Amino acid sequence: MKNTITDTNFNFPGQISVYKGKVREVYHLEGDLLVMIATDRLSAFDVVMPKGIPYKGQILNQIATQMMEATSDIVPNWLTATPDPNVAVGIKCEPFKVEMVIRGYLAGHAAREYKAGKRLLCGVKMPDGMKENDKFPEPIITPATKAEMGDHDEDISKDNIIKRGIVSKEDYEVLEDYTKKLFDFGTKISASRGLILVDTKYEFGKTSDGKIVLIDEIHTPDSSRYFYADGYKERQYRGEAQKQLSKEFVRQWLIGQGFQGLDGQKVPEMSDDYIQSVSERYIELYEKITGTKFVKADLSDIESRIEKNVLNYLNSVK
């Protein structure tokens, strides 16, 4: 669709390098400055879909930046400015090569593993006798190794992370503590908006002076799963699917089309109508989780808009 941004090719003043992830593109500038652009790309099963979703990048960026500002007194983060609806600017960090996944409920990947008979996930024991979407007695942390674009993230235990030297024991304990604090905050704010934060992932990095900070995204529909609180218990009692706001609805649609990102599988065609419905679901989550009306940015020339706003910001901080 023409009203989306799925790739960028900027050349900002003092630009050193560009990293392109599944959804975000990160421009490294002189002075240890990063310009992170949230594109409209959609990733599912670690595969980037062929078409972009209107407003998705804006939604991810604005939820993440609002949540980082709201949690900065709990956990330090990399963010310094948001000069454009799709852009976050912050300090360069060395990312830890793990994603800190935390789960409050048996859903998504954990539920699929559970149905397959597994009771150990990333070295964490899951209780017997649970049904899909049941709440865990306590949230569990199930880390994953961070994949490069096109590769699959892999489950890994805390012990293996430390044993393989991916993260030191001392640093991992900080990541674990920050993860629990952020999830507790997300759980409370979600509850205040009539939502249940089911599971989410956080990514962290280390600054040049050794400080561990939150990076990337937080509590977005790409990184988190939400249920509607209203009717949750009744649906669980009746064994019905939960009403949810997350990217899981895209995964379920893809599964229904015979696609799970496995070798040899072809990505199914997404019609313009379906893409529009995905965009509307993202807007719905934005409004539910932030408690504010979504204000659509100008899509007439997204690249020029982003470039102009970033350049204005860079000139203002010279």
CATH of the domain at 111: 3.30.470.20
Question: What parts of the chain have a pLDDT lower than 50?
Answer: 1, 149-150
Q: Are residues 32 and 74 in the same domain?
A: yes
CB hemisphere CA count around 23 (13 angstroms): 22
For 166-175, the pLDDT digits (tens) are: 999 999 999 9
Q: What is the pLDDT of residue 227?
A: 93
Do 188 and 287 fall into the same domain?
Answer: no
- Residue 39: predicted pLDDT: 96
pLDDT at 209: 92
Q: Are residues 238 and 292 in the same domain?
A: no
296 within some domain: yes
Same domain flag for 239 and 290: no
Angle at 225 between CA 219 and CA 229, to 5 degrees: 100
20 and 131 fall within a common domain: no
Structural domain harbouring 215? 95-250
Residue 151 pLDDT: 52
The pLDDT score that the predictor gives to residue 176 is: 98
pLDDT at 150: 46
Report pLDDT for 2.
Answer: 66
> Could you say which of 223, 250, 277 is where a domain stops?
250
Query: How many structural domains does the chain have?
Result: 2
Per residue in 176-220, pLDDT (tens digit) is 999 999 999 999 999 999 999 999 999 999 999 999 999 989 999
Residues 126 and 211 in one domain: yes
Are residue 112 and residue 238 in the same domain, yes or no? yes
CATH classification at residue 41: 3.30.200.20
